[in-house]
Amino acid sequence: MGDTADGLSSKRTVFVTVGTTCFDALVKAMDTLEVQRELSRRGYTHLLIQMGRGTYEPAKVYLTLVEWLFASSFSAIVISCSSEFLFSEVVMLLVGKSLGEDGSVAVEYFRFSSSIADHLRSASLVISHADQELKCIMKQLEVATVKRSILEFRLVPSLQLLPSLLFHVQRREENGVKKIKGLWVMRSGSIFETLRLAKPLIVVVNEDLMDNHQSELAEELAERKHLYCAHPQTLHQVIACMDLESLLPYHSGDATPVAKLINRYLGFPED
Amino acid sequence: MLILAMEQINQTCFYLMALLTISVAIIVIRALYVLYLTGKPHRTKSPQPLSTLIVLGSGGHTAEMMNLLSVLQMDRFTPRFYIAAATDNMSLQKARVFEDSLVDKKGIKGVSAQFMQIYRSREVGQSYVTSVWTTLHATAHALWLMIRIRPQVVLCNGPGTCIPLCMIAFLFKILGIRWSSIFYVESIARVRRLSLSGFLLYKLHIADQFFVQWPQLQRKYPRAHYVGCLM
């Protein structure tokens, strides 16, 4: 196990996700030599592509799911695009695949899972996207983190799944797997979720979408140096030129100014 | 005999026309008066809790709205009515969790919150042409819901779901059924241009207070209030 851990530490994975949409231009861009050369020059060794409804199939993409999930997730750049993302499906698929395999699964690409139930059954870790109870979950996870001596463990499961999640984490540890350092779960389409997790982020703008206002947001945030913004054609340049150190952390905003104005308008006293 | 009958009809026509003209004039004057008052704050000495309609958009919109609700004093906005699109399963769930958390925090028994679903006027990606018909359908359903709710405060932040509801709230003001204050918060994703919903509510002077999250938008739409990022 220790050997693998050492081997894993040198592996740095890039996760590309297009959500439920079709974004062939991005998948194609990832499949070009230029992009892959730049990625490898920057020390990224693995590429994981979730290609949604797209029709373009990359020629050669290597990926190791277990590393991505349990070891190298900290070094991952998350390349996301502006679309809704059935995150639970994808992660369940990932987890489902990673089980019973010895650590280096070579899967070229995947779309999304067709039967959630199957993956649910086979998964030892179930993560589904649901952020409504986020604060509550975070609290519980922090408690769990202390108890189970997991260094960093942040994810966004749904509340019903939490007990089974913790059970499975525990079981993995009993089996001697101590590598669960952290797992960052993000929803594409939610740029802010990623920013809050302080992950370096490249947003690739999907030019095929009608009225794509997400690109407006991405460009603005790129201007403010919170992330990098790219088009499928310019992706390799962005990867070549980016300086992750220069990215500024994003501080979440709050709604108190709105609340103040609403209260004032309605004649409620300010406090 | 015939001439007499003709005269009778002419007279009736005249009265009908006069009546129509007068009622149109009244409605126009009333609409202008409502428009004049739109955006003018209420000044009441001891404000009562206001019945509030909260329109939940979907994913990101709902998340932003929940951020706003978490900083509003909920005892001032009572009872609360949540409306989300019928195709959106998550938003009302989020609202329920939020309302439950209020009960836990304050120990209020029998929280006065109701949850409703509405047909959506335009799905993401739907063409603007077909959205005309779906908007009409949504409007009819919205009218039925609004007659039941008659809110005093409308909180919305897009997308299209909120348009019929805001239009009806405005109509209620004109007809004197219910006076309401309409608040619209433009999504954080809108940096340079307003969304269609935002544009309509701004240009038609329907929103009493219009909030934007980026300074560029405020410069372009001076009646809007710049409030910084909600996310």
What is the pLDDT, as a whole number, of residue B133?
82
Mean pLDDT over residues B81-109, rounded?
Answer: 80
Say which residue, B105 or B31, is predicted with more confidence. Answer: B31
Give me the mean pLDDT over the A116-129 stretch.
Answer: 30
Cβ separation B76–A263 shorter than 8 A: yes
CB contact under 8 A, B209 and A265: yes
Residue B159, preceding bond cis, omega within 30 degrees?
Answer: yes
Predicted local distance difference test score (pLDDT) of residue B219: 94
Please tell me the predicted confidence (pLDDT) of residue A76. Answer: 32
CB pairs under 8 A between A and B: 104
The Cα B28–Cα A92 span in angstroms is: 58
Ordered alpha helix ranges (H), chain A? 2-9, 24-30, 33-41, 65-70, 87-98, 116-122, 134-148, 162-174, 191-196, 214-223, 235-241, 256-266
Q: What average pLDDT score do residues A114-135 get?
A: 31
CATH of domain B48-226: 3.40.50.2000
Rg, Å, chain A Cα set:
20
Q: Which pLDDT score is estimated for B97? A: 84
Residue B30 neighbours by CB under 8 Å, 6+ apart: B174, B176
Residue-level pLDDT at B44: 64
Q: Is residue B189 predicted with pLDDT exceeding 60?
A: yes
Is residue A204 classed as helix, strand or coil in its secondary structure? Answer: strand
A90 versus A57: the higher-pLDDT residue is A57
**B153-181 residue pLDDT tens:** 999 997 878 888 999 999 999 999 999 99
Return the closest-CA partner of residue A58 out of A33, A77, A39: A33
Q: Give the single-character DSSP code of B224.
A: S
Whether residue A214 has pLDDT greater than 90? no
CA dist B198 → A147, A209, B190, B201, B208 (Å): 48, 20, 10, 5, 12
At A262 the pLDDT is 92
Taking 50 as the threshold, does the pLDDT of residue A51 lie above it? yes
Range of the domain at A205: 2-124+180-246
Question: Taking 50 as the threshold, does the pLDDT of residue B192 lie above it?
Answer: yes
Contact A15, A68 (CB under 8 A): yes
Residues B92-119, mean pLDDT to the nearest whole number: 80
Q: Which residue of B has its CA nearest to A220?
A: B191
Question: Cα Rg for chain B, rounded, in angstroms?
Answer: 21
Task: Identify which has the larger pLDDT, A201 or B70.
Answer: B70
Mean pLDDT of B116-138: 75
Which DSSP helix (H) or strand (E) runs through A104? none
Query: What total of structural domains would you count in chain A?
Result: 1
Tokens (6 digits) for A130: 């649901």
Cβ contact B118:B151 at 8 Å:
no
The answer to whether residue A24 is domain-embedded is yes
- State the pLDDT at residue B131: 74
Q: Which of A24-38, A122-136, B82-96, B126-140 has the lowest mean pLDDT?
A: A122-136
Q: How far is C-alpha B224 from the chain's CA centre? A: 16
Q: What was the pLDDT predicted at A267? A: 87
User: In the structure, what pLDDT confidence band is assigned to residue B3 with cuts at 50, 70 and 90?
Assistant: confident
Taking an 8 Å cut-off on Cβ atoms, the answer to whether B47 and A219 are in contact is: no
Smallest CA-to-CA distance from A31 within A17, A43, A47 is with A47
Exposure of B40 by Cβ count < 10 A (0-12 exposed, 13-18 middle, 19+ buried)? exposed
d(CA A172, CA A179): 9
Instruction: Check if the beta carbon of residue B206 is closer than 8 Å to that of residue B167.
Output: yes
pLDDT band per the 50, 70, 90 thresholds, residue B115:
very high
Tell me phi and psi for residue A169, to 5 degrees. Answer: -60, -45
Lowest mean pLDDT among A90-94, A196-200, B112-116: A90-94
A35 located within any domain: yes
B192:A214 CB<8 A: no
Give contacts of B74 with chain A, Cβ < 8 Å: none
- Residue that the structure tokens 């006065």 belong to: B112
Is A251 a domain residue? no
Which one is predicted more confidently, B177 or A69?
A: B177
Most confident range (mean pLDDT) of A81-95, A149-163, B28-42, B144-158 is B144-158
How many Å lie between the alpha carbon of B45 and the closest alpha carbon of chain A? 8
The pLDDT score that the predictor gives to residue A115 is: 30
Q: Which residue has the tokens 């993560």?
A: A127
Q: Three-class SS of residue A46?
A: strand
Domain ranges of chain B: 1-37, 48-226
Tokens of A212: 């794509």
- Mind telling me how many Å the CA of A206 is from chain B's nearest CA? 13
**Mean pLDDT throughout A237-261?**
83
Distance CA A271, CA B175 (A): 35
- Pairwise CB contact (< 8 Å): A254 & B67: yes
The residue-averaged pLDDT of A50-67 equals 50
Flag whether pLDDT at A65 surpasses 70.
Answer: no
Using the structure block, give the residue that is written with the tokens 């410069």: B219
Q: B82 or A88: which carries more pLDDT confidence?
A: B82
What's the pLDDT score for residue B205? 93
Contact A216 B189 (CB under 8 A): yes
Which residue in A130, A214, A254 is closest to B71 by CB distance?
A: A254
Beta bridge partner(s), residue B185: B211
Residue spans of beta strands (DSSP E) within chain B: 52-56, 80-85, 113-118, 153-156, 181-185, 209-212, 225-226
Specify whether the CB–CB gap between A81 and A206 falls below 8 A.
yes
- Over residues A136-156, the mean pLDDT reads 37
pLDDT band, very low/low/confident/very high, at B60 (cuts 50, 70, 90): confident
Q: Which of A186-195, B11-20, B105-114 has the highest average model confidence (pLDDT)?
A: B11-20
Contact A259 B71 (CB under 8 A): yes
Report pLDDT digits (tens) over B4-54.
788 888 888 889 999 999 999 999 998 998 888 888 887 666 678 999 999
pLDDT value of position B106? 66
- Quick one: pLDDT at residue B231? 81
CA distance B77 to B52: 6
- Closest to B203 in 3D by CA, of B189, B180, B184: B184
Which of A262, A263, A264, A270 is the mutation pick for testing B, counting most B CBs within 10 A?
A262
Question: Which residue has 């994003």 as its token pair?
Answer: A250
Instruction: Categorize the per-residue pLDDT at A58 as very low, low, confident or very high, splitting at 50, 70 and 90.
Output: low
Least Cα distance to B73 among A131, A135, A136, A270 occurs for A270
In a domain, A131, yes or no: no
Tell which residue, B230, B231, B150, B156, has the closest CA to residue B200.
Answer: B156
How far apart are alpha carbons A178 and B21 in whole angstroms? 82
Q: Tell me the β-bridge partners of A79.
A: A16, A202
Q: What is the ipTM of this complex?
A: 0.86
Predicted pLDDT of residue A167: 43
Give the separation between CA B57 and CA B88, rounded to whole angstroms.
8
